[in-house]
Amino acid sequence: MKFVLLTIFLFGFLICAVSAQEVIQEPKPAITLRLETDLVSIDVTVIDRQGNYIRDMKPDEFTLYEDGKPRKIDFFTTNDSLTLTRPLAVVFALDTSGSLKPEESRTLHQAAMKFTTLLQGDSVFSVLAFNNNVKVLQDFTNDVRRIENAFSRANRFEGSTRIYDAIDRAITLLERKSPRIRKGRPVRRVIIVISDGFDSSSTIDRREMVRRANAAGVTVYSITLPSYVLTATQPGMRVITPLDATRVVSVTGGIDLAADSRDFTPVFKALAEEISSSYIISYYPDWRDGRFHDLKVKTSRPGAELRVSRNGYLAPSK
């Protein structure tokens, strides 16, 4: 028994030593060490009223609530550079339904490949395609050639659109196959849905899918293609998409970006900046009851608006 306790202590000490230079910890972690899998992490993006990212937030400007009660923040991490160095696990969900235009999809896929080159560190990627079926084209890898090959195989555009089922499948991929920790840093779980915005045949309940995304700490981003047929009533006005209207994107801390068929690269650059501008708030929960617990994050800084990656978590069972 003493040997087991000593092993756990040494393992925890090594993890803390590796991440000491990368993670700003306020307050210091408790002496009693637990497995990293117990840690609940929340990604928070902060913007001002003009939509500009706020990059100088301090830990004491955030308050974390669990089930309506304030909780101590055990770890606070920030990325103070414009370069994305935090490890990600990204699932690209590619719409291959009959409503898409193949030419715009090919152009966007090329831009998506450039997005992978913007990332630094130990990020991994998976690719799935969806129409009336959902098919995984590539499991998680950091091999650019495999990712590019998966994109090239998403070339048949037919059938209906199962966006919610595709997101649900992506959540399962992230839960079962993506790493949680890379080099002492928590891996952010991201789904990038590339679609024209309409769901026509999903079987999953949308609310259950959102609950699963929150429980798994998954952020959903959507890139809406130009073939999305609704038009704005006024010039310059952005048209709300179904993923906006159903709040699938917003309640997971993501945003929807409208693509320009002439050049999709700026969309992915904006997405990379969005992800790199987030803070990580983490804590060790007390609950081990197998139930879903509500989370909320507030800030004391006037004029600051928060995008939070989850509004709850599923506690482990005893």
Q: How many CB atoms lie within 10 A of CB 272?
A: 20
Q: Report the helix count and the strand count for the chain, using DSSP H and E.
A: 7, 16
The predicted model scores a pTM of: 0.81
Dump pLDDT digits (tens) for 125-168. Answer: 999 999 999 999 999 998 988 998 999 888 888 888 899 999 99
Categorize the per-residue pLDDT at 87 as very low, low, confident or very high, splitting at 50, 70 and 90.
confident
pLDDT of residue 84: 58
Q: Give the separation between CA 25 and CA 282, rounded to whole angstroms.
A: 10
Selected residue with higher pLDDT from 157 and 197? 157
pLDDT of residue 239: 63
Inform me whether the pLDDT recorded for 182 exceeds 70: yes
CA nearest 255: which of 211, 223, 227?
A: 223
Mean pLDDT score of the chain: 80
**Domains located in the chain, CATH noted:** 2-79+277-314 (no CATH), 88-276 (3.40.50.410)
Dump pLDDT digits (tens) for 277-293. Answer: 889 999 999 999 999 99
pLDDT of residue 57: 94
Categorize the per-residue pLDDT at 121 as very low, low, confident or very high, splitting at 50, 70 and 90.
low
Dump pLDDT digits (tens) for 31-72. Answer: 333 445 678 999 999 999 998 999 899 999 999 999 999 999
Dump pLDDT digits (tens) for 205-246. Answer: 888 999 999 989 999 998 887 666 555 445 555 566 667 767
Mean pLDDT score, 76-93: 77
pLDDT of residue 7: 40
pLDDT of residue 85: 65
Selected residue with higher pLDDT from 270 and 26? 270
pLDDT of residue 261: 60
